[in-house]
Amino acid sequence: MDTEAVRSFVRAAELGQLQHAADELGVTQQAVSKRIAALERELEVRLFTRTARGVELTLDGQAFLPHARAVVAGVERGIRAVRPNSRALRIDVLGFRTGQAVILHDYWRAHPDTDLDVVTLRAGDPRVVAAAVRAGDIDASFRTVTDPATLPPEVRMTHVLDVPLELLVGPGHPLAAARTVTPAQLRGHRIWVPGIAPRSEWAEFYDELAADLDLRIDGAGPNFGVEVLLETLADSPDVATLVSPRDRLTWPAHHDLRRVPVAGPAIAYPLSLIFRRVDPHPRLHAIIRHFRSLAAVPGPVWRPAWGRTSWASNA
């Protein structure tokens, strides 16, 4: 089996577009298409279906993906065995528009000699990601396993940054003109967060946020992407959402969306990094130091219970 074809399949599955996979692999989109087509002929199944937004895995593609990742990881481990200093630092982020990805990009711009491979594993359950770290599929992930006792013993988790959340609303929302809002002022307002993955740390975060601060967090409905969310906010007088100030969000000028900081207390998400306990990538600690060097959220601050534990404070 052609391992470059398997690698092309994995990158296309992770990025959702053949062109993005081609750009990262340094080949043409046609080359990626040919590799995947050859792989499909060899396996005698369809791995992708094309959509208006790119490509999506078929059921056969979903079944093949974890094994394909294992093949790619095995090849990379073999290369690492003979060229230990040549390997890129492979880090998983929740999404390429998220604040964690933006901060990581800022670090790379300041240190362009750092060979980074930034991926998104599209796994809702952070324990799946922890297993990928343990297996060597990735070097690290910006995820949180809220019960550290369930982490594999080969894997470590450390707190790197508290991420404040702010309200994002359209011009017709009652809080659109506010300079800041308190959690008490958010009570009764619909805070729409579509696509919260079950068993994810974000599901636990929003459940605890709603219970502690008496907020109405609505995760109903399918997630049609950030563009649809922004359009909904622009057109609605009663829908809001919560975002990070660093999230890379852009919208047409006529949307006239407003970012409103939350204070008294601020709402913060404790961002963690999962990585191997033994022999972590040599570039990883510099990235941890960069995240920890960023400004702290001014108090008072609300954090979930699992973000107030000793591992989150001192790890």
Which DSSP string corresponds to the chain?
--HHHHHHHHHHHHHS-HHHHHHHHTS-HHHHHHHHHHHHHHHTS--EEEETTEEEE-HHHHHHHHHHHHHHHHHHHHHHHH-TTS--EEEE-S-TTSHHHHHHHHHHHH-TTS-EEEE----SSHHHHHHHHHHTS-SEES---SSGGGS-TTEEEEEEEEEE-EEEE-TTSTTTT-S-B-HHHHTTSEEE-TTPPTTSHHHHHHHHHHHHHT-EEE--S----HHHHHHHHHH-SSEEEEE-TTS-----GGG--EEEEB-SSEEEEEEEEEEESSS--TTHHHHHHHHHTSPPPPSSEE--GGGSSHHHHH-
Q: Is 63 left (phi over 0), alpha (psi -120 to 50) or beta?
A: alpha
Q: Name the CATH superfamily for 163-268.
A: Periplasmic binding protein-like II (3.40.190.10)
pLDDT at 297: 92
Q: Model pTM greater than 0.85? A: no
CA distance 191 to 89: 36
Which CATH code, of 3.60.20.10, 1.10.3470.10, 3.90.1150.10, 1.10.10.10, is assigned to 1-66? 1.10.10.10
Q: Is 5 left (phi over 0), alpha (psi -120 to 50) or beta?
A: alpha
Q: Which of 92, 95, 96 has its CA nearest to residue 133?
A: 92
Q: 39 and 47 in contact (C-beta within 8 Å)? A: yes
Residue type, 303: R
pLDDT digits (tens, 9 = 90+) for 203-215: 999 999 999 999 9
pLDDT digits (tens, 9 = 90+) for 30-79: 999 999 999 999 999 999 998 888 889 999 999 999 999 989 888 877 76
CA distance 284 to 107: 12
pLDDT at 306: 87
pLDDT at 123: 79
Average of per-residue pLDDT across 226-241? 92
Query: How far, in Å, are 124, 146, 180 from residue 201 at the CA level?
Result: 8, 7, 27
pLDDT surpassing 90 at residue 113: no
pLDDT at 149: 87
Same fold, 1-66 and 163-268: no
Q: Could you give the 3-state DSSP secondary structure of residue 86?
A: coil
Domain ranges of the chain: 1-66, 163-268
Q: Which of 158, 140, 139 has its CA nearest to residue 148?
A: 158
CA distance 7 to 27: 12
Six-digit token string for 197: 């993955």
pLDDT at 314: 44
Percent pLDDT > 70 in the chain is: 95
Residue type, 110: A
